[in-house]
Each structure stands twice: as C-alpha cells, then as structure tokens.
Amino acid sequence: MEQRKHRITSLRGLIERLLDTDAATEEFQYRARILITDLESMVADDTPTTPRAVAIIYTDGDEGDGRALEEAVLAFARQHDVELISADDPIEGSWYHRLWLRTRIIFGSVEAHGVYEQMYGSIIAHLEEKSAQVDSLKSESAAKLIEAVRAQEQAVVLLGRLLIVKFGSRLIVTNISVAHAEKLKTDPMFGEPAEVLKLLFEATESVPKLQLEN
C-alpha cells in the first residue's frame, strides 16, 4: 500500500512540474488539475476514484425553485452516468449551489471526459426536435431540465463544460471552453446571468451556441 502511495505521489509531482513548463496548454492545465485532485483523493482514502466535475446552479427564484432546478440537473446527469458525490451548502436568498460529480466510467478514460460532450448533444437534440436520435431516457431528462430552466426568470447552470443561461426571454445553451468553465466556477459574476452572457459573446474564440426565445 505504501508503495502504491509513493507511486501516486511521484506521478502527482511529475504533473505539477509539467504545469510549470511552456508546453502546458489551457486544455492540459484543466485536465491536469482534475487528475491531481483525484490523485490526492486516492492517497487520502485508498479508494478508487473517477474524474470529477463541478455543477453550479443559480436561480433568482426561491428555495423551491432552486431545489426543482437542482433535481432536474441531477436527474439529467444520472442519465449520462454521472453521479453526485458531495455538495457545498447552498447560498439562499436567490439560490446558488455548488455540487461535485463524478462519472461511473473508468478513471482517466477518454470516455469519461466525453460524457460532458454527450450531455450537450442530448440538450441540442431536444431543442432542435431531433430527440429520436438520442436514447429515450436521456432525451426525457434533457426535456425536463430545459423545462425547469425555462420556469425561472433568471438562471445559470454549469455542468462540466455545458452551460445553460436563462435571462428574460433569452435561453442560451453552449459547450464552453475549459478556460471559461474554470473562470465561471470561481467568479462571483456567476449569479449575474447578464454578465455571463456578456462573457460568452465577448469571447475571442468560436464556441457553438444555441440561442432560443421563449
């Protein structure tokens, strides 16, 4: 067991050194931070772990609105083989809640990171009325998630790299860059949908967006 911990610690050290090199792209930095967090967990509790992601939910509604939106997000995640492992305390008044998720797919696999691409695809298929191309349970959960978002006056949902913003009559669905996902996870403007939209539309890179009106 000690040998295993030593190997994990050595691997973590190697990754951290690579982060300090010029070759560390934004994509590499994002993946490396996920891997370092999971390696630390493996050393701490000696249990297998899987790639983790954060879900952040904001609505200007009350606790009931927040809980309903959160349930829809988690149901959607479960249909894509992503499960809840822990949650921070919600911030009430409006509703802001950070949840920690993991995939059930083998740790470190390409498939695990592809799960969040599949989530985006399920939402887009529903909105473009192409649900027949998606597994029925995934399609149903996507429909319920969009319904829960549309029920809010203002809302922001970040699930991995999937971002959904509701602001007045405007509904935006996009799969954002890893850099923007990292920024939104810690930026206080997350509770300001108009500012989140501004960030998206001012992005210098090209990101796919689907904008709908209610």
Does 57 lie in the same domain as 12? no
Q: Are residues 63 and 41 in the same domain?
A: no
Task: Indicate if 63 and 154 belong to the same structural domain.
Answer: yes
What pLDDT was estimated at residue 121? 86
Based on the fold, state whether residues 71 and 29 are members of the same structural domain. no
pLDDT cut 90: percent of the chain above it: 14
* 182 lies in the same domain as 197: yes
Q: In this model, does residue 75 exceed pLDDT 60? A: yes
Q: pLDDT tens digits, residue range 25-51? A: 776 776 676 666 656 555 554 444 445
Split into its structural domains, the chain has a count of 2
Arithmetic mean of pLDDT, 144-169: 90
Q: Are 156 and 196 in contact (CB under 8 A)?
A: yes
Query: How many percent of the chain have pLDDT more than 70?
Result: 69
Please state, as a whole number, how many other Cβ atoms lie within 10 Å of the Cβ of residue 208.
Answer: 10
- Strongest mean pLDDT among 62-66, 70-74, 134-138: 70-74
pLDDT band per the 50, 70, 90 thresholds, residue 108? very low
- Which of 45, 63, 80 terminates a domain? The answer is 45
pLDDT reading at 122 higher than 60: yes
pLDDT at position 204, please?
Answer: 45
Give yes or no for residue 127 having a pLDDT over 80: yes
What confidence tens digit (pLDDT) does each residue in 128-155 have? 877 666 778 888 999 999 999 999 999 9
Nearest to 95 by CA among 73, 74, 64: 64
The DSSP result for the chain, as a single string, is -HHHHHHHHHHHHHHHHHHTSTT--HHHHHHHHHHHHHHHHHHHH------EEEEEEEESS-HHHHHHHHHHHHHHHHHTTEEEEEEPPPBTTTEEEEEEEEESSPTT-HHHHHHHHHHHHHHHHHHTT-GGGS-HHHHHHHHHHHHHHHTSSEEEEEETTEEEEEETTEEEEEE--HHHHHHHHH-GGGG-HHHHHHHHHT-SS---EEEEE-
Q: Residue 97 has which token pair?
A: 């809640």
Shared domain for 17 and 84, answered yes or no, is: no
Give the domain range for residue 31. 2-45
Domain co-membership, 115 together with 205: yes
- Do 125 and 169 reside in the same domain of the chain? yes
Question: pTM for the full model?
Answer: 0.69
Phi, psi (rounded to 5 degrees) for 63: -60, -40
Whether residue 137 is found in the same domain as residue 160? yes
pLDDT (0 to 100) of residue 203: 58
159 close to 73: Cβ distance less than 8 angstroms = yes
Q: Are residues 17 and 61 in the same domain?
A: no
Interacting residues of 137 by C-beta distance below 8 A, sequence separation 6+: 79
Residues 62 and 120 in one domain: yes
The answer to whether residues 83 and 130 belong to one domain is yes
Beta-bridge partner residues of 55: 99, 159
